[in-house]
Amino acid sequence: MNCGTVVPSGTVVPSGTVVPSGTVVPSGTVVPSGTVVPSGTVVLERASALQNVGATFLEGVLHFTASGYTGWVDVRKGQAQLLLSSAQPVEEVDYFLRVVYALLVFEAGGLLFHAAGIARKGKAYVFFGHSGAGKTTVARLSPEDIVLNDDLVVLLPHPQPLSSSWMVYATPFWNPTQIRPSAQNAPLGGLFRLVQAREVFVEQLSLAQALAELFSNVPVIPDDPTRRLRLLERCEGLLIDVPAHRLHFLPDASFWQAVEAVSRVGTTVPLGTTVPLGITIPPSPTAWGDDRR
């Protein structure tokens, strides 16, 4: 490309392109019609996968507009595109696939959920909370159980609802600091908001509290105005079927006694009642340290 060249509309400047001055054009930049590319233009790649990808929704289509990370996802048409130039391409593509996953699962009637899913005795228990709440911790404290994923799981309506109206599925997303996921699924047995505490007990969340908690732990979908109302309705339907509880726990496996107590008595524990019901959990010598995930 020569100095003063007029670039056609929609032209994408590839990574590493040098135009025969010092002006930097981000990789993946779409050049508007009539733009004159300055002499000496050099395209740079993204240095980190943690940079903002500039994700915005427009009429249900998700657009990426960041330097070195441009594209779109239109699940209704079954089409997507990513133009990428990055020093960490694997992590960047991984993020893109997570976004696609979230949108496809939502269109299928389910939710991609920021939570640990652990299958135990034929049921899947979902433990959620902000980063650092203890999702990986409860997974590591369950070595005899099946860890579906300790960070992202899929919740879908049961195709033939019997004992449970929802199913929990593993996802393939993980990194070396996490527990490798198991490609399995199980009926949903309970939803538990993690709270690191000095004693172990469970209390049921009100519908309003639980709705806010679930909504805030669903990635991508809350950012789309056209899907937000459906997301609230879906979370409410899930909570009517499987009420959520707040699980106060220690960094040891004693929390499973409280979780299984809720499972035994069902999901009709009155608000304000703490579980275990009639079960005494001895004080644990374990205390919370600084490593909380």
Tell me what the mean pLDDT of segment 265-275 comes to. Answer: 51
Q: Is the pLDDT of residue 14 over 70?
A: no
Residues 151-168 have pLDDT tens digits of 999 999 988 766 678 999
- Taking the C-alpha atoms of residue 80 and residue 102, their distance in angstroms, rounded to an integer, is 13
Q: What is the pLDDT of residue 57?
A: 96
pLDDT band at 169 (very low <50, low <70, confident <90, very high): very high
Helix segments in the chain, DSSP class H: 89-107, 135-140, 207-216, 228-241, 255-265
Q: Please give the model's pTM, rounded to 2 decimal places.
A: 0.78
Question: Which position has the token pair 């929609």?
Answer: 10
pLDDT band at 67 (very low <50, low <70, confident <90, very high): confident
Give the residue extent of every domain in the chain.
1-44, 55-102, 111-275
CA distances from 253 to 62, 187, 226, 249, 286 (A): 41, 22, 42, 9, 10
Q: Is the pLDDT of residue 237 over 60?
A: yes
Of 247, 270, 267, 243, whose CA–CA distance to 258 is shortest?
247
pLDDT band at 289 (very low <50, low <70, confident <90, very high): low
pLDDT band at 265 (very low <50, low <70, confident <90, very high): low
What's the token pair of residue 201? 């007990």
Q: What is the pLDDT of residue 52?
A: 82
Q: What is the pLDDT of residue 99?
A: 97
Q: Is the pLDDT of residue 256 over 50?
A: yes
Tell me what the mean pLDDT of segment 68-96 comes to. Answer: 92
Q: What is the dihedral of CA 175, 181, 186, 187, to 10 degrees?
A: -20
Between these two residues, 30 and 224, which has the higher pLDDT value?
Answer: 224
Tell me what the mean pLDDT of segment 84-100 comes to. Answer: 91
Q: What is the pLDDT of residue 273?
A: 53
Between these two residues, 193 and 50, which has the higher pLDDT value?
Answer: 193
Q: Is the pLDDT of residue 140 over 50?
A: yes
Q: Is the pLDDT of residue 280 over 50?
A: no
pLDDT, the chain, mean: 82
Q: Which CATH number fits domain 111-275: 3.30.70.120, 3.90.228.20, 2.60.40.290, 3.20.20.140?
A: 3.90.228.20
Q: What is the pLDDT of residue 251?
A: 94
Most confident of 25-34, 108-117, 171-180: 108-117
11: number of Cβ within 10 Å: 15
Q: What is the pLDDT of residue 53?
A: 83
Greatest alpha-carbon pair distance for the chain in Å reads: 81
Burial of 180 (0-12, 13-18, 19+ CB in 10 A): exposed
Residues 104-131 have pLDDT tens digits of 999 999 999 999 999 999 999 999 999 8
Tell me what the mean pLDDT of segment 86-98 comes to. Answer: 91
Element (H, E) at 244: strand 244-249
- Taking the C-alpha atoms of residue 170 and residue 55, their distance in angstroms, rounded to an integer, is 25
pLDDT band at 171 (very low <50, low <70, confident <90, very high): very high
